[in-house]
A and B are shown apart, each in its own frame.
Chain A
Amino acid sequence: MAIGTFQERVDEPVEPMRRAPRLVGPWQAGAALGICLVLWALLAAPVLERNAAAGPVGARRSTALAVLRPLLAMSERLGLVGATDSVERALGRDPEAQPGGELVLPDFELPPEAYEPTPVFPPPGDRRAATSRNGGDDNGGGRSEGEGVREEPEGDPTALREPTSSNELRVAVIGDSLSQGLGPAIERWTDPRVVRVLSLGRQSTGLSRQDYFNWQAGMRQIVEEFRPDLVFILLGSNDAQAQISTDGTAIPTGSIDWVQGYRAQAARLLSEATSAGTRVVWVGIPIVEERSRWDFYRRVNEIYRDTAKADPLGRYLDTWSLFRARDGGYRAFVRNERGVLQEMRAPDGIHFTPNGYAYLGRMALRAAAESFGLAQEAVTFRL
């Protein structure tokens, strides 16, 4: 018989034990487990409270906060918060950081050319306003004068530079869980000898909840530390909720203020990149299976499209149409460029399968090639 006979560690010498573990009744087991949970909840109260506060506004969040805030107060009174904060710091984490965490970019050396001013298209009117916010607030208000601000171009002002092995084209992919699939696909279809890709997507993030994760600040950090030539943005699928800023101010959904606020958030995010000469491909939210989400996603897609259109260094990629069926509906099976049918959408009706991400990655790189002249040598497929 070749497979599977059921056995406990037969090859291990068994040492005779004088005593065996004591068996207990449900009261003792329940008491130990109950004490464990209560003590753990006291120890983890700061993290639990922060995570609960970061949840979508609603009954679940309110209930969780109603339970956790007194627990947090008790934990503070017992001095446990200070102790657990020390543990967090010892692990190299900031206990005051946003619940969505901080962006940690890998350590690498940028070539000297990365620090040289490179040509960009003359900034539009609002660009000047954006770049004049030097040394702005934490939400990202531009950068110091001279640092990363680039000069007037001579040729095609929007074209990406030719990548070389000594000065690779630097590409970043940011956004929500959809972008976490797009990032590796971009990496897969680019030539690592001349392109450096950072996939920096964060699950459950977007533009609505600045209190959870602030993408404008994230983009600013990416521009400062990585100086990307090209950024792909794909987010918005989590944004159908109240906007809450870093100071806790809330704008309810469905209001004009919400739309205006969201438009401003999108413009600021784009500006953080393009004001430093970075080209941006803003990938729209693809069609999803659940029709009740369509109206919202189409509206935010319009915002992304308008925002990208207003900036010469921005380009909007319409993925809604790309993955839509002929009758305008959702389809999970899509033909790739060679006409082969593939299951491209994940069973959740929102995300993609690996084949779907691969196709989306190729389309996003084609968009970069069409708009910014991404070189054929930079990718591993025919543009």
Chain B
Amino acid sequence: MLFPTTDFALFFAVVFALHWTLHRFHTVWKWFILAASYVFYGWWDPGLVWLLALVGTLAWGAALWVERQEDEGRRRRRTLVAVAALLLPLAWFKYYGFFALNIANAFESFGLRPPLPLLQVLLPIGISFYTFMAISYVVDVSRYEIQPSRWLDVAVYLSLFPHLVAGPIVRGEELIPQIRRRRDANAIDLSRATFLIFGGLFKKVVISSFLVSQVVDPVFGAPSAHGGLEVLIAIYAYAIVIYADFSAYTDIAIGTALLLGFEFPANFDRPYTAVSIQDFWRRWHMTLSRWLRDYLYIPLGGSRHGELRTAIALMVTMTLGGLWHGAGWTFLAWGAYNGLGLVIGRRRRLRAAARGVPSAASRWMKARQQILTFHLVCLGWVFFRADSFDSAFQLLGRLGARGSTELVTPAVLLAIAGMLLVQYLPSTPVLRVRIAFSRMAPALQGAALALVLFAITTLGGQGVTPFIYFRF
């Protein structure tokens, strides 16, 4: 079920009413919200709900199995086995086809028969997200950070529909206590929830859809037909599209959860104001960044074992992070590129610190770093979006080419500039509007929201494309 659809609006209306009716009967409520989440998930393919239930059951059982072992070495081994077991469905559904195809072509180039059958396995939506949440739950239990929970609590934690498909990746310690306790029925932050939901709708339905159809798809689809300026604007536009699209999803997810009385962590913090690649990853998909840090980078040694080991840990973490986004060489390269950015950035910072260069830069220096970082990130997005290295290099090769500029319209430039500009604006005025909105009568609130929604749906035109991160 896509968020910005009539199907979801009707689904949520029913869930909202029943959720607040049943919340006093805690166990009944848990079964209800689990069933509602399974319906939400099964809307795409009812045949895959079993997988979600299986991963939940596996995580629950594995956490109990790990928790019972008190010997540290054995506990660690059990954790590794549990993590491997949780990764198996992801490996099969997401990566089998990619590896089988590459192995087949490698074998055939030596005149050998491919060892694995070529199968196109349907990727279950959200599997990358709920697998990572399941792993974090088991590892947190093994690290004594949380206690194992009942099956129902774990199942609700992994399946809760607002975060189910594309995050944010919520940790057990953040969500399970919220599932265990009863909701405060008089503490719904309606103004924050609606601002997040309607802001997300605007970003997705108006900005992202517009830029995709007007400039991104035409240019990335056929780079050779476009001149340098169109290519440059298409690259900027894609940077905005992926931000608007993904942050829209998580904004709507966080807003929807707020209406049900749940608090999810933020996932974006004005990423295009970052002054370095390191800073960018502190602001972009923050719940994935911290997952990679806590469950991959630190176990690989982090920064405690010298510079070389740190660099290797960073490269491995980010390359695997790239592969998490998709089974393809371009995703792998994108991850490695970001890893390299982090390694180089770290070296530069350490050298500057050794020379006694103050870290507090002037406003001009900061602006220069922001512009440089934005362009480095944009370069990475080219490989992220392109369907092959050929396409990516063809696109980059067109940057200096002459050609038409008809796709570079004032509306396209306004959408890009506007989305960049809002990241530099303070949030205080929005908070003031939220406060004023929260003090309005429900009828006025409804009328104001209806006008905003009408404006969004009218400006957005027809149809809603699937969110980019659904694929991951």
Binds B, one of A21-29, A117-125, A258-266, A293-301: A21-29
> Do A35 and B450 touch (CB < 8 A)?
yes
Complex-state Cα separation, A4 to B259, whole angstroms: 28
A-B contact pairs, 22 of them (CB 8 A): A3-B293, A4-B288, A6-B286, A12-B426, A17-B428, A22-B439, A23-B438, A25-B185, A26-B20, A29-B190, A32-B445, A35-B445, A35-B447, A36-B449, A38-B450, A40-B457, A43-B450, A44-B457, A91-B458, A101-B462, A187-B222, A340-B105
Is the pair A192, B188 in contact by a Cβ cutoff of 8 Å? Answer: no
A349 to chain B: closest residue by CB? B120
> Would A17 and B457 count as touching, CB distance under 8 A?
no
- Across the interface, which residues of A come within 8 angstroms of B289, CB to CB? 3-4
The answer to whether A187 touches B449, judged by C-beta atoms less than 8 angstroms apart, is no
How distant is the Cα of A26 from the Cα of B185 in the complex, in angstroms?
Answer: 6
Q: Is the CB of B406 within 8 A of A28?
A: no
Considering the complex, which residues of chain B in the window 144-203 have a beta carbon less than 8 Å from any beta carbon of chain A?
185-194
A residues less than 8 Å from B13 (CB atoms):
33-34, 37
In B293-317, which residues have CB < 8 Å from any A CB?
293, 297, 302-303, 310, 314, 317
Beyond A36-B447, A185-B222, A199-B221, 15 additional contacts (C-beta under 8 Å) are: A2-B345, A5-B293, A22-B435, A23-B186, A24-B186, A31-B442, A33-B194, A35-B447, A40-B450, A43-B451, A184-B222, A188-B225, A333-B120, A342-B101, A347-B123
A window 93-143: CB within 8 A of B = 99, 101, 106-108
On chain B, the residues within 8 Å of A9 by CB distance are: 269-270, 427
CA distance A99 to B463 in the complex (A): 11
How far does the Cβ of A5 sit from chain B's closest Cβ, in whole Å? 6
Task: Pick the most buried of A33, A340, A341: most chain B CB atoms within 10 A of its CB.
Answer: A33
Residue of B nearest to A37 (CB): B9
Closest to A36 in B: B449
Q: Which residues of A contact B369 (CB under 8 A)?
A: none
Instruction: Give B406-430 interface residues, CB cut-off 8 Å to A.
Output: 406, 426-428
Cβ–Cβ < 8 Å partners of A246 in chain B: none
Q: Check A17–B431 contact: CB distance below 8 A.
A: yes
**Complex CA–CA separation, A87 to B388 (angstroms):** 42
Q: How many A-B residue pairs have CB under 8 A?
A: 214
Whole-angstrom distance between the alpha carbons of A378 and B442 in the complex? Answer: 63
Whether A355 sits at the interface, judged by CB under 8 Å, is yes
A197 touches B225 (CB 8 A): yes
Roughly how many angstroms separate A33 CA and B259 CA in the complex, as a whole number?
A: 10
Query: Is B16 within 8 A of A30, CB to CB?
Result: yes
> CB of B207 within 8 A of chain A?
no
Instruction: Give the residue name and chain of the B residue nearest to A19 (CB).
Output: B435
B265's nearest neighbour on chain A, judged by CB, is: A6
Q: How far is the CA of A366 from the CA of B226 in the complex (A)?
A: 23
Judge whether A5 and B290 touch: CB under 8 Å.
yes
Write the nearest CB–CB distance from B455 to chain A, whole angstroms.
9
In the bound complex, how far is the Cα of B455 from the Cα of A43, in angstroms?
Answer: 10
The smallest C-beta distance from B401 to any residue of chain A, in angstroms, reads: 9
In chain A, what residue has the closest Cβ to B222? A187
Which partner residue on chain B sits nearest A11 by CB separation?
Answer: B273
Most buried by A among B192, B221, B278, B290: B221
Report B-chain residues with C-beta under 8 Å of the C-beta of A1: 293, 297, 302-303
Check A21 against B101 for contact (C-beta < 8 Å): no
Residue pair B218, A2 in contact (C-beta under 8 Å): no
Contacts of A376 in B (CB 8 A): none
Tell me which residues across on chain A come within 8 A of B387, comparing CB atoms. 353-355
Does A343 reach chain B (CB closer than 8 Å)?
Answer: yes
Known contacts A2-B278, A3-B282, A25-B185; decide if A32 and B190 are in contact (CB<8 Å).
Answer: yes
Distance between Cα atoms of A43 and B456 in the complex (Å): 12
Given A21-B438, A333-B118, A333-B120, decide whether A3 and B317 contact each other with a Cβ distance below 8 A. Answer: yes
Tell me, in angstroms, the Cα distance from A223 to B443 when the chains sit together: 52
Contact A32 B449 (CB under 8 A): yes
* Interchain CB contact (< 8 A) of B120 among A6, A21, A332: A332
For residue B57, CB closer than 8 A to chain A, the reply is no
Q: Is the CB of A108 within 8 A of B427?
A: no
Find A192's partner among B16, B224, B293, B427 (CB 8 Å cutoff): B224
> Which of A4, A7, A187 has most B Cβ within 10 Å?
A4
Report if A39 contacts B (CB, 8 A).
yes
Q: Are B406 and A108 in contact (CB under 8 A)?
A: yes
The residue of chain B having its C-beta at the shortest distance from the C-beta of A180 within the complex is B217
Report the minimum CB–CB distance from A232 to chain B (whole Å): 14
Does A321 interact with chain B (Cβ within 8 Å)?
no
Give the Cβ gap from A50 to chain B, nearest Cβ, in Å.
10
A203 at the interface (CB under 8 A from B): yes
A107 touches B454 (CB 8 A): no
Complex-state Cα separation, A115 to B253, whole angstroms? 55
B97 part of interface (Cβ distance < 8 Å): yes
Asked if B282 and A184 sit within 8 Å, CB to CB, the answer is no
Q: Are A184 and B293 in contact (CB under 8 A)?
A: no
